[in-house]
């Protein structure tokens, strides 16, 4: 796991945008794994800026989102489809037909929908770069604590904490779903690269558990310790509980030197 600590959230977003741009510019049919939530909004802003100002094109990109609420109308402003349209898809030249979310209506069988989503990812060639946020309880996607570390796309019941954390996004009289379809931890682990963004003090404990805690279903993000290419990018607040900050900063400098000497090597 490579841990990179930046001064602020702005620099985290800039670094993430750099990763996405490099993939999109250099691979013929890049496949992105995308996340919703507050953290990646600044990344999507930067990608839209790069599209408008530098001609970064998403024409050949396919995307797979981590999760979507169960039985939600895609047109509902609370759906993750709406979130992605509003924050990214409607502002760049991506072909919406190539953008996927793990949807499931009440008429559909969630087990079949999960299998179909896994197959669609395989058919697209697998995810090259998965963008992740992290929940205050260590969840990735909607894989809440005790999720199987090898799980695949499926329906999950959200924990009270996640419902509470997300309630800020719902009006008092608005129905807040308590189930969601989510990629599994195993699905995320199959991505070639994983880029986890975390900002703010409220993520500091989860980040510490993920990076230095035991590999445990109680902290789903700790599974990334077993990923060959997991990059964790943090602002100072999210890194505040890590003991070995000096080492991560030193290792990052060394990596930059290696990159300068030998060039960036991403095996997509």
Q: Which residues are catalytic?
A: 67, 137, 139, 144
Query: Cβ neighbours of residue 71 under 8 Å, at least 6 residues apart?
Result: 104, 105, 106, 177, 179
Residue placing its CB nearer to ligand F6R in the complex, 30 or 184: 184
Provide, rounded to whole angstroms, the least separation between the CB of residue 64 and ligand F6R.
Answer: 11
Considering the complex, state which of residue 130 and residue 244 has its C-beta at the smaller distance from ligand F6R.
130
In this complex, which beta carbon is closest to ligand F6R, that of residue 24 or of residue 180? 180
Return d(Cα 202, Cα 99) in angstroms, integer. Answer: 31
Question: CA-CA distance, 238 to 202, in Å (whole number)?
Answer: 7
Query: Which of 17, 8, 12 has the alpha carbon at shortest distance from 54?
Result: 17
Asked if 131 and 147 touch (Cβ cutoff 8 Å), the reply is no
Give residues with Cβ within 8 angstroms of 79, minimum separation 6: 68, 69, 72, 73
Residue 231 is given by DSSP the state E
- Contacts with ligand F6R by CB under 6 A lie at 35-39, 66-67, 133-135, 139-142
Q: Which is nearer to ligand F6R, 38 or 90 (CB)?
A: 38
DSSP state of 158: P
| Nearest distance from C-beta of residue 91 to ligand F6R, angstroms | 19
What are the φ/ψ torsions at residue 184 (nearest 5 degrees)? -85, 175
50 vs 156 by CB, closer to ligand F6R: 156
Residue sitting closest to ligand F6R (CB):
133
Closest CA to 154 of 191, 111, 105: 111
130 sits in which H/E element: strand 129-132
In the complex, minimum distance from the CB of residue 97 to ligand F6R, in angstroms, rounded to a whole number: 21
Shortest Å distance, C-beta 262 to ligand F6R = 33
Residue 48 beta carbon to ligand F6R: minimum distance, rounded to whole angstroms: 18
């Amino acid at each position: 796991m490579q841990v990179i600590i930046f001064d602020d959230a702005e620099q985290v977003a800039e670094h993430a945008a750099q990763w996405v741009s490099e993939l999109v510019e250099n691979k013929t049919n890049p496949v992105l794994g995308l996340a919703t939530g507050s953290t990646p909004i600044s990344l999507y802003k930067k990608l839209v800026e790069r599209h408008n100002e530098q001609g970064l094109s998403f024409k050949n990109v396919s995307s797979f989102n981590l999760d979507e609420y169960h039985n939600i109308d895609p047109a509902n402003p609370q759906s993750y489809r709406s979130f992605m349209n509003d924050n990214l898809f409607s502002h760049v030249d991506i072909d919406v037909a190539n953008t996927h979310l793990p949807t499931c209506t009440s008429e559909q069988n969630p087990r079949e929908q999960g299998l179909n989503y896994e197959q669609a990812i395989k058919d697209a060639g697998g995810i090259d770069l998965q963008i992740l946020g992290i929940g205050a309880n260590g969840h990735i996607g909607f894989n809440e604590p005790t999720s199987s570390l090898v799980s695949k796309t499926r329906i999950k019941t959200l924990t009270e904490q996640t419902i509470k954390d997300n309630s800020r996004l719902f009006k008092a009289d608005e129905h807040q779903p308590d189930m969601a379809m989510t990629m599994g931890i195993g699905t995320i682990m199959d991505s070639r690269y994983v880029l986890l963004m975390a900002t703010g003090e409220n993520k500091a404990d989860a980040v510490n558990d993920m990076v230095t805690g035991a590999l445990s279903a109680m902290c789903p993000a700790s599974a990334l310790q077993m990923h060959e290419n997991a990059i964790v990018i943090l602002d100072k607040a999210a890194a505040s509980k890590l003991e070995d900050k000096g080492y991560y900063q030193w290792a990052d400098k060394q990596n930059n030197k290696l990159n300068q000497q030998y060039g960036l090597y991403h095996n997509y």
